Structure 1
Amino acid sequence: MSPTTRRILQAVLYEVIAIAFVGPALSLAFDKSQTSTFGLAVVLSTIALTWNYAFNWVFERWESRQSVRGRSFARRLAHGAGFEGGLVFMLVPVMSLWLEISPAAAFVANLGLLVFFFVYAIVFTWAFDRVFGLPASAAGNGPRTV
């Protein structure tokens, strides 16, 4: 499978499975209809995908102007904190309005989602690689990059 096809398949499967879990979990946690929380999960997923694309574009433009190349732990930490921090600012108000809860409660729910997605991303990626094989960048004997 081509790298582009693999990336698209991985992103679509990742989000579809996430929505299937997050929608019912929000329904149980906030005593809302599954129809409503499924809709919310789709909206949150769309925001996250859009933010991911936009943030990575901006980050990579910034990164290309740095005198030090590569991705150190500090740079990766800054990337993760910037991405997640921006996502919190976008998702908390949406969750608060949609679920009719306080911003503080929405923030706590968002922290729960953060923990879920941390574990889910690791498990999903492992399972995806087991089913579809490693990407060319990780499977070959070519040069390793950091």
Structure 2
Amino acid sequence: MLELDSTAPDFELPAENGEKFRLYSLKGKIVVLFFYPKDDTAGCTKEALAFSHLQSEFEESGIKVAGISPDSTEKHAKFKDKHDLKVLLLSDVERLVVESYGVWVEKSMYGKKYKGVERTTFLINTDMKIANIWRKVKIPGHADAVYNSALKLL
């Protein structure tokens, strides 16, 4: 499991817009990665909308924000269009990144156990070190808290 001040694992994933996103290409910038379970579900939609509402503030501050889930780029594109999302959505269909960040975990619903993404956000500093981690995220106020924490790194 990743800890504060550990080096964020590098990765390259496709975005919903067809471009490739490589974390270490952003060295020197502050990066927010929010991992979420599934496109177009109630909680995930609220979280993506909350980050989207702050996207211009993040951009103006030079902070890069990306959401990551195991959904395909096609599902991401539909999700983004349907809700007019402003954030970049990255597709981790092989679950390599969710596993390397320790957010692919055993979950339980109605007594059944299954593997899924634990809603988690990582704030990564300009040296690609983890500056903050929010695990088992509660959505109300979360994007604001992440933004305020990111501003302190500037």
TM-score by length of 2: 0.30
Higher helix share: 1
Higher strand share: 2
Larger Rg belongs to: 1
TM-score by length of 1: 0.31
- Structure with the greater relative contact order (CA < 8 A, sep ≥ 6): 1 or 2? 2
